[in-house]
């Protein structure tokens, strides 16, 4: 189990965030309980749980070359829920994967607290992903032969760690918060999609990671289950002090977050504090119009103006 204070100490050594890092411009992000709320910290870099500096990612060569990320500077506040939004192909998943240490950048750095990821060897990176980062995927990624409880405790199993009384108390709190108490002995096939995703969230939170990264966590859920899962992600931020960064296509889903960062053509193209579905949709429409007007940019796909929301508004 990580020391929850470790990353707080580490952040005091973090160099200042570059001046190009965009900050939300509309309203001050809502304060949250738990470890230092991002909005109350005097130094924006010290309030960041994770940040990317000059991130570039290029796939392929020659004519087939794609600049998936084209110089991204972005910081995500500790104890904040941030949505990353943008058209299909804009670079959202690439950004999430680089920030989570799942893929390496062509250029630039990722700082998780005071740890710079590109300086780590494979073993250190694996250890970091296991202990300091949590993942929630669209497809749940639960082990079918394991019960919900076994799936939630899997990170400890993988780390060869024991279930100490502290861990058991945290597990109990997660299970209660996520409403899984009476589902612990069920296997994934005996759970609804929403319940499976809640198990995946509990598993992601078990090690009290610095950041939980969620890639379209409601993509496979009906609107009601999707709304529940978003509510639980928000609760994990508000009540458990977690930092969550979520990729979504959906303006309604983004409205559960404290902040929405918009990506277009591999660059940060907007930043909205306390997003509402209307403001986010207007931003997406603006980007889509700009993209269509610019022959050099990739046409936006997948985020059509007025597209049907996948989840209910909060
Ligand atoms: N492994 C890869 N090889 C080549 N090109 C890739 C690879 N992964 C992503 N790309 C390209 O990089 C660009 C950004 O992709 P990315 O998946 O990050 O976008 P996205 O915004 O997450 O899209 P979506 O919403 O459709 O998932 C796209 O043009 C995509 O085709």
Number of the ligand 1 atom closest to the C-alpha atom of 86: 21
The per-residue pLDDT for range 59-102, each reduced to its tens digit, is 999 888 999 999 999 999 999 999 999 999 999 999 999 999 99
Q: Binning pLDDT at 50, 70 and 90, where does residue 46 land?
A: low
The answer to whether position 239 is within a domain reads yes
Distance 303 CA to ligand 1 centre (A): 15
User: Which atom from ligand 1 is nearest to the alpha carbon of 69?
Assistant: 14
Rounded average pLDDT over 8-20: 31
Q: Which residues line ligand 1 (CB under 6 A)?
A: 59-60, 66, 68, 86, 88-94, 302
CB proximity list for 165: less than 8 A, separation 6 or greater: none
pLDDT computed for residue 9 by the predictor: 28
- Mean pLDDT over 51-60 rounds to 96
In the predicted structure, residue 111 carries a pLDDT above the cut 70: yes
Portion of the chain with pLDDT greater than 70, in percent: 79
Expressed as residue numbers, the domain containing 241 is 6-293
Given a cut of 80, is residue 314 above it in pLDDT? Answer: no
Position 178 scores a pLDDT of 87
Residue 298: pLDDT over 90? no
Cα separation values, 231 from 68, 117, 179, 245, Å? 31, 31, 12, 14
User: Once rounded to an integer, what is the mean pLDDT over residues 217-229?
Assistant: 88
CATH code where residue 250 lies: 3.40.50.300
Determine, yes or no, domain membership for 255. Answer: yes
Of 9-23, 41-55, 249-263, 288-302, the one with minimum mean pLDDT is 9-23
67 belongs to a structural domain: yes
pLDDT tens track for 123-156? 999 989 988 999 999 889 999 999 999 999 999 8
Retrieve residue 193's tokens.
């999609």
Query: Does residue 307 fall inside a structural domain?
Result: no
- pLDDT at position 53 is 97
Kindly tell me if the per-residue pLDDT of 281 is higher than 90: yes
**What pLDDT was estimated at residue 63?**
87
* 306 within domain boundaries: no
Provide the CA 290 distance to its chain's centre, in angstroms: 26
> Which of 57, 61, 63, 66 is the pocket-test mutation for ligand 1 (most atoms within 8 Å of CB)?
66
User: Long-range contacts for 118-125 (Cβ within 8 Å, ≥24 apart)?
Assistant: 125/101
Q: Tell me, what's the pLDDT at 43?
A: 52
How far is 102 from 96, CA to CA, in rounded Å?
8
The pLDDT assigned to 240 comes to 85
Number of domains in the chain: 1
Q: From ligand 1's centre to the CA of 224, what distance in Å?
A: 29
Tokens read off for 211: 């950041």
Q: How far apart are CA 191 and CA 181, in angstroms?
A: 13
Q: Which two tokens stand for residue 243?
A: 């930092």
In this structure, is residue 303 part of a structural domain? no
- Closest atom of ligand 1 relative to the 298 alpha carbon: 29
The answer to whether position 182 is within a domain reads yes
Instruction: Tell the burial category of 156 from Cβ atoms under 10 Å away from its Cβ (0-12, 13-18, 19+).
Output: middle
311 has pLDDT over 70: no
The pLDDT confidence band at residue 58, using thresholds 50, 70 and 90, is: very high
Residue entry with tokens 């209660």: 176
């Amino acid at each position: 189990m990580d020391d929850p204070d470790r990353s707080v100490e580490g952040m005091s050594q973090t160099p200042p965030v570059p001046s190009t890092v965009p900050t939300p411009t509309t309203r001050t992000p809502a304060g949250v309980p738990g470890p230092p709320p991002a909005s109350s910290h005097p130094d924006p870099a010290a309030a960041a749980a994770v940040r990317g500096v000059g991130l570039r990612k290029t796939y392929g060569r020659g004519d087939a070359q794609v600049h998936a990320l084209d110089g991204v500077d972005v910081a995500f506040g500790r104890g904040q829920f941030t949505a990353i939004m943008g058209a299909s192909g804009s670079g959202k998943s690439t950004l999430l994967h680089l920030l989570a240490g799942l893929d390496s950048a062509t250029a630039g750095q990722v700082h998780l607290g005071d740890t710079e990821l590109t300086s780590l060897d494979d073993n250190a990176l694996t250890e970091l992903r296991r202990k300091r980062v949590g993942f929630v995927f669209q497809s749940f990624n639960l082990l079918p032969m394991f019960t919900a409880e076994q799936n939630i405790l899997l990170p400890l199993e993988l780390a060869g760690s024991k279930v100490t009384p502290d861990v058991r108390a945290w597990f109990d709190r997660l299970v209660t918060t996520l409403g899984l108490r009476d589902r612990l002995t069920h296997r994934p096939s005996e759970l609804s999609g929403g319940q499976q995703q809640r198990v995946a969230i509990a598993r992601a939170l078990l090690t009290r990671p610095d950041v939980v990264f969620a890639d379209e966590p409601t993509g496979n859920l009906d609107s009601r289950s999707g709304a529940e899962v978003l509510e639980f992600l928000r609760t994990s931020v508000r009540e458990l002090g977690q930092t969550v960064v979520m990729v979504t296509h959906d303006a309604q889903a983004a409205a559960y977050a404290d902040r929405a960062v918009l990506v277009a053509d591999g660059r940060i193209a907007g930043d909205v504090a306390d997003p509402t579905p209307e403001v986010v949709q207007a931003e997406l429409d603006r980007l889509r119009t700009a993209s269509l007007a610019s022959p050099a940019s990739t046409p936006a796909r997948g985020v059509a103006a007025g597209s049907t929301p996948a989840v209910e508004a909060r």
